[in-house]
Amino acid sequence: MRMYDLIEKKKLGQELSTEEIKDIIDGYTRGDIPDYQISALLMAICFNGMNVRERYDLTMAMRDSGDILDLSSIDGVKIDKHSTGGVGDKVTLVLGPIIASIGVPVAKMSGRGLGHTGGTIDKLEAFPGFNVSLSEEEFIDQVNSIKIAVTGQSKNLAPADKKLYALRDVTATVDEISLITGSIMSKKLAAGTDAIVLDVTVGDGAFMKNKEDALELAKSMVDIGKRANKKIAAYLTNMDEPLGYAVGNNLEVIEAIEALKGNGPEDLMEVVYALGSQMVVFSGIETDKAKARALMEEAVKNGSAYAKFIEFIEAQGGDATYAKDINKFSPAKYVIPVNAEIDGYVHALKAESFGLASMSLGGGRETFDDVIDMSVGIILNKKVGDSIKAGEPICYIHANDQAKADHAKDMILKATVISPDKCDHMKLIIDIVE
């Protein structure tokens, strides 16, 4: 069939066969099919969707468009964790070392931040010398040696996704469940792990703004993972307010280090323990999530998780003295309080606006070529549900430019809702799909 006929077929709401989907993905990856025809197909998919079989075939064709890592030489059940993104999300920095210290192999590929969401790779580069581009052999050897490695995505891992995403981004075809599923799961399946735990963030600072859409995405990704014979579960986690108290690269790394020492914010640790207990169960070390959580809590309490973090940073060439002495991280020039204007209770700290405020300070990217200022960001002083007095800080802005700080302050005040009525702290784990 000509590409014209396949576009017409999907435009009419008909199914594409397994072979047709594979031919489309292979042809586009090679450069044989032009952008304008793929754009038309993407829009037809946005209007008419794909059934579960088409969705699986799309994911597998994208997975097979490049390298597939063979991690069979790593001992044990290899586990990856993926987040759909959020504000203040430093979960991997805390979770990975805890799980590895228990003996679960963590083989993780991570990305960089874009827009108001942060990236794990950027945060790890807060440690001078840290190598974010491990070869496949180095990656495998390190996981076998110390049970954890985190690296950037290989250029030839699911290259079809890279091409398709760039096109979706400029043709208003990003927010379709089959296309989102294919994008995420093609990379996860190509990464070669045995089990995957998904953190599907929900709310103001997340890609999915409401539970219904997030649940649909979670179910779709879990379905694909199971069809591909992976152990997989998805946790819907709250991203209506920033996770933890720190937003910004160095600030989040410092918070993660403190968390590994046993001083982590309650909301951050709740997400870490929920995701981690699932990872431990998948590993087979424990069969009960409560017992798995107890193992994690003990790893933090006895210092083995923090020690594993030091070992991890050193193994990838990073200067671990920064993890031993957080005063080595370069501070921002200004630390400016943003004070409440009335008494009451904090009802909202709109996560997306806090993320955008941090980005406006220089702490994030609008394009992948932007250079991040690692020292800037925001430290919250209050969380939703807390009481606050007029003149008391909502948060502190860490900035290197006064004008940018003033702009961020305006954004934060508009994103903060204070009411005289009491309200509850936010529920962190919204739902689980297994």
The one catalytic residue in 168, 308, 365, 409 is: 168
Q: If we measure between CA atoms, which residue out of 6, 113, 25 comes closest to residue 64?
A: 25
As a whole number of angstroms, the distance between CA 163 and CA 316 comes to 29
Among this protein's residues, is 187 annotated catalytic? yes
Q: What is the DSSP string of 19-67?
A: HHHHHHHHHHHHT-S-HHHHHHHHHHHHHH---HHHHHHHHHHHHTTSB
Q: If we measure between CA atoms, which residue out of 126, 96, 98 comes closest to residue 110?
A: 96
The one catalytic residue in 9, 55, 187, 404 is: 187
DSSP strand E in 24-170: where?
Answer: 79-83, 106-110, 148-152
Q: How far is CA 297 from CA 97, 142, 257, 305, 355, in A?
A: 12, 24, 15, 9, 29
Contact 93, 244 (CB under 8 A): no
Output the six-digit token pair for 137: 């052999």
Among this protein's residues, is 161 annotated catalytic? yes
The one catalytic residue in 10, 22, 63, 82 is: 82
Look at the alpha carbons of 209, 210, 211, 214 in this order and tell me if their dihedral is positive or negative.
negative
Among this protein's residues, is 82 annotated catalytic? yes
Q: What is the DSSP string of 407-427?
A: HHHHHHHHHEEEESS--PPPP
Q: If we measure between CA atoms, which residue out of 83, 80, 110 comes closest to residue 200?
A: 83
The one catalytic residue in 183, 186, 353, 358 is: 183
The one catalytic residue in 161, 194, 240, 267 is: 161
Radius of gyration (Cα) for the chain, nearest Å? 22
∠ at Cα 56 (50, 58), nearest 5°?
70
Output the six-digit token pair for 276: 């981690």
Among this protein's residues, is 183 annotated catalytic? yes
Contact 69, 249 (CB under 8 A): no
Strand partners, 136: none
Q: Which residues are designated catalytic? A: 82, 161, 168, 183, 187
